Structure 1
Amino acid sequence: MKLVIVTGLSGAGKTTALKALEDSGYFTMDNVLCQIAIFLLQNLEKGNSELNIEKLALGIDNRAISSPKEFMLLLNCLESLKVDYQMVFLDSSDEVILNRYNLTRRRHPFAAPTLLESIKREREAMNMVLERSTVVIDTSEYTSKMLSNKIKELATSERKEDINIHVQSFGFKYGVPMDLDLMFDVRVLPNPYYIEDLKLKTGNDKEVYEYVMSFPESEELYEKFIELIKYMIPLYKKDGKQHLSIGIGCSGGQHRSVAFVNRIAKELSYLETVDVYISHREGERHHWT
């Protein structure tokens, strides 16, 4: 059985994600208590149930977790049963979640004097879940369609390794991604944007990639980046981390950062016990000229 646990902050897109998984052939259940999830998984995996479920998606938020101990029991259950699972944590900025709740006029499940205080308290309470999630998605700039497509893409991928590494490019002019573990800045390198023949291209194009990497400082910077990343991966794994998010930023997120992300991801893909995937944020947001 394949299992996807959708969790994260209220208002970050859990309902949309579960609908996307349902469209992908998953049997979905929302607001599942940890104790019920454990009971269900034990019976499904041990064949004690007449249900024939091959793909299951569970929505679990702060209301379903009464204590850190209960959450750890769920994780221990997943490990002991050797369940093939992904835990997708949906995050978003406080401002975006605040606006979403103001638009829908729904009550936040985490009771507090103000809505903003509710969001902050929930973020603190869900930090332990964030740390143990295999995939973290910042939905601040996502439309429902973009999030659905992202979830469907994850649903069709296989989790084969013990740490997932997400390498993404971004433009500082559009803000820094909030879910990064490591962030590198390549704005110090010559910018292809000012080369007329390269301006409208991206780091995915051979001409741009070769231009970015043609400078001695580019090669030296790359070697230092990759050396640090390779050093950090075993430390993160030793600490029990299952998801590592690496961001490479340049001014617009179109040329230099894209070239670096592609090269770093390619080299990391040769490592054992890792699963590497890439994204180019500004391309997904249609910010590329």
Structure 2
Amino acid sequence: MTEVDGLQSVKPAESELLVVTGMSGAGRSTAANALEDHGWYVVENLPPLMLGTLTELVSRMPHSIPKLAVVIDVRSKELFQDIREALNNLRAAGVTYRVLFLDASDQTLVQRFESGRRPHPLQEDGRILDGIAAERDVVKELRDTADIIIDTTKLNVHALATAVTELFSEQGPIVLRLNVMSFGFKYGLPVDSNFVADVRFIPNPHWVPQLRPHTGQDADVRDFVLSALGTEEFLDRYVDALVPVIDGYRRENKHYATIAVGCTGGKHRSVAVTEELAKRLAKLPHVTVAAHHRDLGRE
């Protein structure tokens, strides 16, 4: 084995390493509990520079600890430098790992800190929002390079635990999980989307009186949307365009992607197209697909 800055090349044959991090208040503890419930050995609040040492120890007994999740709390610029150095050392040593980053909107994080009656760890003498802004600045690079991002803004603890469960089975992470999500542009883009498709080119059922009260999950709206000029061609070409991306994700050891499909309000067109797109993607090999509707039911 070779040395890389004091870390031996230990590339475990069977152990899996997941680094869990993200914004304070975004649900790291909930995610850690869910992982533990599904057979992961979870280590919380590990100093980043000990990550290599722990990985080396676990690699010597992969059958005893086949799945290791390390929860790291990013609270200062100095600590972020330690995390970056630790991850770079793992990569240089040939250790396969993935980073799960938990995020949420500023408003949601403020509400969570206020309800818990505790300060943000970086707010010092300022407001909670000041602490959140400081933390976002520290973790920006880590978030940008994360393999999996979960936006917990609309998730309670049970929904977050379910999301983590869906991502990680007892045998390890799903080969490639696609989350196809409908949304309304007027409510903003999903922050965790990898791809965004705009289906506002399709005639809007909102302007058809008998269709307006229904949603894209109802047969009359679905038929109206899917039979519209250009919809079938769009679906065919979009799936074809995603095939090489999915293959590339698999080669790069990425296991999760969100495809967001948007219309004006997230009620009719995006919902119908999301359901159909999910069905088509589910036919691809080694892919698990789930359809979600972010804004369905909103006024």
Aligned 1:137-148 pairs, distance under 5 A: 137-148=150-161
Per-residue deviation, 1:140: 1.0
SS at match of 1:66: helix
Deviations along 1:194-218, whole A, 9 cap, x unmatched? 4747954544x66644432212232
Per-residue CA deviations over 1:75-129 (Å, capped at 9, x if unaligned) read 551574554x542211111111112112212122224533212101211211111
Match 1:19 to one of 29, 33, 42? 33
* CA positional deviation for 1:21: 1.7
1:105 pairs with one of 108, 117, 125: 117
Is 1:94 the equivalent of 2:109? no
The amino acid across from 1:256 in the alignment is R
Q: Does 1:160 align with 2:175?
A: yes
Number of aligned residue pairs: 280
Q: Which residue, 133, 139, 146 being the options, matches 2:146?
A: 133
Identify the residue that residue 287 of structure 1 maps to in structure 2: 297
Give the drift of 1:37: 1.8
Once the two structures are superposed, what CA deviation does each residue of 1:136-181 show, in whole Å capped at 9, x if it has no partner?
Answer: 11111111111111111112163436xx654321233544322234
Structure 2 segments unaligned to the other structure (5+ residues) = 1-14
CA change 1:5–1:240 in 2 (3 A) is closer
Map 1:82-231 to 2 at 5 A: 82-83=95-96, 85-112=97-124, 113-156=126-169, 158-160=173-175, 166-192=179-205, 194=208, 196=210, 199-200=213-214, 202-203=216-217, 208-222=221-235, 225=238
CA distance in 2 between counterparts of 1:278 and 1:195 reads 31
Give the match's secondary structure for 2:64.
coil
SS at match of 2:42: strand
Q: Distance in 2 between matches of 1:80 and 1:211?
A: 55
Aligned counterpart, 1:40: 54
Decide whether aligned partners of structure 1 residues 197 and 93 sit closer, same or farther in structure 2, where only a CA change above 3 A counts. closer
Normalised to the residue count of structure 1, the TM-score between the two structures is 0.77
Q: Measure the CA separation in 1 of the matches of 2:256 and 2:64.
A: 30
Q: Let me know the Cα RMSD of the aligned residues.
A: 3.8
2:139 partner amino acid: M
Contact preservation (8 Å) 1:45, 1:81: no
Cα distance between partner residues in 2 of 1:269 and 1:131: 27
Amino acid at match of 1:103: S
The SS at the match of 1:118 is helix
2:17 is the alignment partner of 1:7: no
Query: For structure 1, which segment, 68-77 or 208-217, has the greater mean C-alpha deviation from structure 2 after superposition?
Result: 68-77
Whether 2:255 is the aligned partner of 1:246: answer no
Distance in structure 1 (CA, Å) of the matches to 2:16 and 2:151: 23
Secondary structure at the aligned position of 1:147 is classed as: helix
Aligned-partner SS, 1:179: coil
Q: Structure 1's 70 and 7: CA in aligned 2 closer, same or farther, altered over 3 A?
A: closer
The verdict on how the C-alpha distance between 1:61 and 1:165 changes in structure 2, with shifts beyond 3 A counting, is: farther
Given the two structures, how large is their TM-score scaled by the length of structure 2? 0.74
Q: Partner of 1:63: helix, strand, or coil?
A: coil
* Higher mean C-alpha displacement, 172-181 vs 226-235: 226-235
Encode CA deviations 1:218-257: one digit per residue, 9 max, x unaligned: 2354466557656877999999987654311124434321
Q: What amino acid is aligned across from residue 42 of structure 2 in structure 1?
A: T
Residues in 2 aligned to 1:75 and 1:171: alpha-carbon distance in whole angstroms: 39
